[in-house]
Structure 1
Amino acid sequence: MDIGARNLGADAQFPSEKIAELSYRYRTLGLGYANIGGLLMSLGLPYDSDEGRALCGAITALMTGTSYATSAEIASELGPFPGYADNADHMLRVIRNHRRAAWGEDDGYEGLKTRPVPLDIECCQDQALAVAAGAAWDRALELGEMHGYRNAQSTVIAPTGTIGLVMDCDTTGIEPDFALVKFKKLAGGGYFKIINRIVPQALDVLGYEADEVRDIINYAVGHGTLLRPRISIMIA
Structure 2
Amino acid sequence: VNLRRFYDETTNIIDVEGFEYTCRLWTAVLEISVLMAQFPSREVAQLSYDYRTLGLGYANLGSMLMVMGIPYDSEEARGIAGAISAIMTGISYRTSAELAKVMGPFPKFEENREAMLRVMRNHRLAAYDADEYENLEIKPQGIKAKYCPDYLLKSATKAWDDAVQLGEKYGYRNAQATVIAPTGTIGLVMDCDTTGVEPDFALVKFKKLSGGGYFKIINQSVPAALRNMGYAEREIDSIVKYAVGAGTFAGAPHINHQTLSEKGFFAEEIKKLDAAVASAFEIGFVFNVYNLGEECLQRLGFQPEQYYNFEWNLLEAIGFSDGEIAEANDYICGTMTVEGAPYLKKEHLPVFDCANKCGKIGERYI
Normalised-by-shorter TM-score class? over 0.9
Q: What is the rounded CA distance, in whole Å, between the counterparts of 1:187 and 1:101 in structure 2?
A: 46
Q: Which residue matches 2:198?
A: 175
Cα deviation for residue 45 of structure 1 reads 0.6
The secondary structure found in structure 1 opposite 2:57 is coil
Q: What is the rounded CA distance, in whole Å, between the counterparts of 2:164 and 2:211 in structure 1?
A: 57
| The one of 72, 80, 90 aligned to 1:47 | 72
Q: Deviations over 1:183-216 (max 9, x none)?
A: 1335565434211111001111222222221111
Cα deviation for residue 7 of structure 1 reads 4.5
Cα deviation for residue 32 of structure 1 reads 0.4
Q: Which residue matches 2:257?
A: none
Is 1:116 aligned to residue 146 of structure 2? no
Cα deviation for residue 235 of structure 1 reads 0.8
Q: Deviations over 1:105-163 (max 9, x none)?
A: 2x220010000011112201x31111111000000000001000000000001011222
Unaligned runs of 5+ in 1: none
| The one of 81, 87, 96 aligned to 2:106 | 81
After TM superposition, list the pairs within 5 Å mapping 1:128-139 onto structure 2: 128-139=151-162
Tell me how large the CA RMSD over aligned residues is. Answer: 1.5
Report if aligned partners of 2:67, 2:228 keep a CA contact under 8 Å in 1: yes
Choose 49-58 or 189-198, whichever is displaced more.
189-198
Q: Deviations over 1:52-75 (max 9, x none)?
A: 111111010000000001100110
Indicate the structure whose relative CO is greater, using CA pairs within 8 Å and at least 6 residues apart.
1
Q: What is the rounded CA distance, in whole Å, between the counterparts of 2:143 and 2:184 in structure 1?
A: 27
- Bigger Rg over Cα: 2
Q: Aligned partner of 1:108: which letter? A: E
The secondary structure found in structure 2 opposite 1:182 is strand
Q: What is the rounded CA distance, in whole Å, between the counterparts of 2:82 and 2:40 in structure 1?
A: 33
Equivalenced residues, count: 233
Q: What is the rounded CA distance, in whole Å, between the counterparts of 1:79 and 1:174 in structure 2?
A: 33
Tell me: CA distance 1:186–1:76, structure 2 relative to 1, closer, same or farther (3 Å): closer
TM-score, normalised to structure 2, is 0.61
Is 1:220 aligned to residue 243 of structure 2? yes
Report if aligned partners of 2:67, 2:225 keep a CA contact under 8 Å in 1: yes
Q: What is the rounded CA distance, in whole Å, between the counterparts of 1:174 and 1:146 in structure 2?
A: 33
Q: What is the rounded CA distance, in whole Å, between the counterparts of 2:110 and 2:210 in structure 1?
A: 57
Report if aligned partners of 2:235, 2:342 keep a CA contact under 8 Å in 1: no
Is 1:19 aligned to residue 44 of structure 2? yes
The secondary structure found in structure 1 opposite 2:216 is strand
TM-score, normalised to structure 1, is 0.94
Q: Aligned partner of 2:139: which letter? A: R
The secondary structure found in structure 2 opposite 1:235 is helix
Tell me: CA distance 1:25–1:189, structure 2 relative to 1, closer, same or farther (3 Å): closer
The secondary structure found in structure 2 opposite 1:15 is coil
After TM superposition, list the pairs within 5 Å mapping 1:20-35 onto structure 2: 20-35=45-60
Q: Which residue matches 2:303?
A: none
Q: What is the rounded CA distance, in whole Å, between the counterparts of 1:154 and 1:39 in structure 2?
A: 23
The secondary structure found in structure 2 opposite 1:98 is helix
Is 1:103 aligned to residue 215 of structure 2? no
Tell me: CA distance 1:143–1:207, structure 2 relative to 1, closer, same or farther (3 Å): same
Report if aligned partners of 2:129, 2:142 keep a CA contact under 8 Å in 1: yes
Q: Which residue matches 1:4?
A: 30
Choose 114-123 or 225-234, whichever is displaced more.
225-234
Is 1:202 aligned to residue 202 of structure 2? no
The secondary structure found in structure 2 opposite 1:139 is helix
Q: Which residue matches 2:170?
A: 147
Q: What is the rounded CA distance, in whole Å, between the counterparts of 1:143 and 1:223 in structure 2?
A: 54
